[in-house]
Structure 1
Amino acid sequence: MMTSEKRLLVIIGITGNQGGSVASRFLSDPSYRIRGLTRNPSSPTALALASKGIEIVAADLDDVSTLIPAFRGANLIFSVTNYWEPFFRPDCRVKAVELGVSCRKYAYEAEVRQGQNIADAVAATIDSLDENGLIASTLSHARRCSRGRFDELYHFDAKADVFPGYVEEKYPRLAKKMSCVQTGFFMSSYRLAPSAYFRKIEDGSFLMSFPCSSDAPIPHLAVNADVGPFVYAVSKLPPGKHYLAAGTICNWIEYLGIWSEITGVKTSYKEISLQELIEYTTDKEFGREIGDMYLYSSEPGYDGGDKTLLKVEDIRKLGVECPMTSLEEWMREEDWSMVLNQ
């Protein structure tokens, strides 16, 4: 009895949070074989993935000639780009100074370039792609959604300018085979700005300080656990849709209420100015970038005010399973000792 050939899933950045989560979910589906792209196939993470039967391929997002053969024959491609890698790299900071641009703008240009390279390479293998053959991790377009108010929220627009912008403009046929998944706030993000999330004050309680309205609804995502299941669910649906991946949507007061119940400590929220957040942040450029994100989350909203985005409940209504981790579930599993013992 003949068996059908396995479908080929290609995952960009397979050693990262999102790519690794997608690999973990699709590994449990025997109808797929997986090819993972990474700059360093000999890294411990890459070798561990290879030991699970994943084909690991060396590829450079800055070199489209390495991507075209890596994508060849793919039925499904998961795309993700990383603004923060060039943002934090010391050599990129030096190059930004040499070019006379901020490290924020430099990282934007680097991410856009890599995203366009991905799109160009995917377009070269479009005939092998499934009807819903490109699933791209992205964010809302801050400049457009805010009508120009936020024209330097670079880690949002670097993604949205390509997925869907560049693809729709240059490759309309590919755009018809693409789904875009906007990711919510990573639940682990507090580790990047702990003093803004949880600062212990004189009375022993903890203060959260953001330039964001306390009642703004924020989507929260357990990135390592849930990107994979969400992308897997989207892959079962028709193409051309836009999604918001989140396990819980709540405001910051509700967030603190959950955290306080779990940790047993008192909390409060203070809305501060962008400049105050920058002063609290060791890396001022990082403070400005995330500060704009919090302001944008107040108005028009983290999702750009787009009410048409499909969420997990919409996917389930279509009859597709999509297990997600709630914020409370994630918080109960997290080790908060470093925060509580500050």
Structure 2
Amino acid sequence: MAKIVVVVGVTGNQGGSVARRFLQDPQYHVRGLTRHPTSDMARELADKGVEVVQADLDDVESLKEAFAGANLIFTVTNYWEPFFRPDCRQEAAQLGISCRKYAYDVEYQQGKNMADAAAATVGSLDRNGLIASTLSHADKCSNGKFKRLYHFDGKADVFPHYVEEKHPELAKKMSCVQTGYFTSSYNLAPQSYFVKQTDDSFVMRFPTSPTKAVPHLAVNEDTGSFVYGVSQMPPGKSYMAESSTCSWTHFMQIWGSVTGKKGTYEQVSSNDMIEAAQDRAFGAELADMFAYSSEPGYDGGDETLLTAADIRKAGIDCPMTTLRQYMETADWSAVFGL
């Protein structure tokens, strides 16, 4: 009988990648959770064999039903959905809090709901039965310097901290996977990633040190491969899902060699990045992330995190897409202004 792997956010970047990888293994039956089971993406996944289930991340009982009998659960939370929604911003204003803090509250509660629901079926889970997408805890890792990097702490406050505190039996079966900078994120912040100059060259401007190496992940291509590899490892480990690790200076050198364009990196202040953003709250959240990436580092300075190389050392196949490979297949026409 096939094992049941439940994938939260199956129509999203991470969840969709995970679902597609587990579909390749006949040992698994993939149950995908989404709020919109009739969407085009949900129908496409259903046609490929995914059992698409409607679930509400704000309703722990619906999650308990969706998780019931699972052997493996992949969880992911979405800070940015409530962050950008006009009704959420209006409610945040009524509550007298920033949209950044409001989105944290939503993400944190949804993460707790997932943890509580997973704990309700902990007996059916495999030895390494909960794989949680998360990030480092910026407040703790920076000794309080970064107290408002909400889309980091909203994840880390649950995975692993809430699980370890409230559900110790579930924690024994949990692996935490931090995700590197998505290689496709330039689509979200074009005013900082690739700024076109009058001479047809391009400048990238972040508050990160030009020599600080950061992790990069081809999220759609590689999240599934990485999570599948983690699922075959022992539980209780923490990972960094990265396809390549290099500085933004090196990133632009690779990009320039692939595209034939001149590309350079320039470190700017956090205020400069905020001023350049079309949405100041979004700019502030990103500026904190890029500044945090300099010190203590995107991973919080944790040198114990395992990578794809460690998974491969354990004899488990874990192919990843390098930066150059990603850049060679990406469509840069929108960046070039064509």
TM category (shorter chain) comes to: over 0.9
Q: Whole-Å Cα distance in 1 between the matches of residues 239 and 213 of structure 2?
A: 16
Aligned match of 2:70: 74
CA-atom RMSD, angstroms? 0.8
Q: How big is the shift at 1:203?
A: 2.6
1:39 aligns with 2:35: yes
Deviating beyond 6 angstroms after TM superposition, the runs of 4 or more aligned structure 1 residues are none
Aligned match of 2:304: 308
- Per-residue Cα deviation, 1:171-228 (whole angstroms, up to 9, x for no partner): 1110000000000000000111112111112332111111110111110000001000
Aligned match of 2:144: 148
Q: Structure 1: any 5+ residue segments left out of the alignment?
A: none
* Corresponding letter in the other structure for 2:139: R
Residue number among 279, 287, 294 corresponding to 2:275 in the alignment: 279
Residue number among 173, 181, 193 corresponding to 2:189 in the alignment: 193
- Per-residue Cα deviation, 1:69-117 (whole angstroms, up to 9, x for no partner): 1111000000000000000111101110010000000000000000000
Which range moves more in the overlay, 201-210 or 13-22? 201-210
Q: Whole-Å Cα distance in 2 between the matches of residues 227 and 292 of structure 1?
A: 25
- Per-residue Cα deviation, 1:247-305 (whole angstroms, up to 9, x for no partner): 10000111011000011111222111111101110000000000000000000000000
Aligned match of 2:209: 213
Which range moves more in the overlay, 237-246 or 34-43? 34-43
Q: Whole-Å Cα distance in 2 between the matches of residues 177 and 273 of structure 1?
A: 42
* TM-score using structure 2 length: 0.99
Q: Structure 2: any 5+ residue segments left out of the alignment?
A: none
SS of residue paired to 2:73 = strand
Aligned match of 1:295: 291
* TM-score using structure 1 length: 0.98
Q: Whole-Å Cα distance in 2 between the matches of residues 311 and 173 of structure 1?
A: 25
Residue number among 223, 227, 230 corresponding to 1:231 in the alignment: 227
* Corresponding letter in the other structure for 2:217: L
Aligned match of 2:91: 95
SS of residue paired to 1:321 = coil
Q: How many residues align?
A: 338
Residue number among 123, 126, 136 corresponding to 2:122 in the alignment: 126
1:52 aligns with 2:48: yes
Q: Whole-Å Cα distance in 2 between the matches of residues 286 and 270 of structure 1?
A: 20
Percent identical? 62
Which range moves more in the overlay, 126-135 or 195-204? 195-204
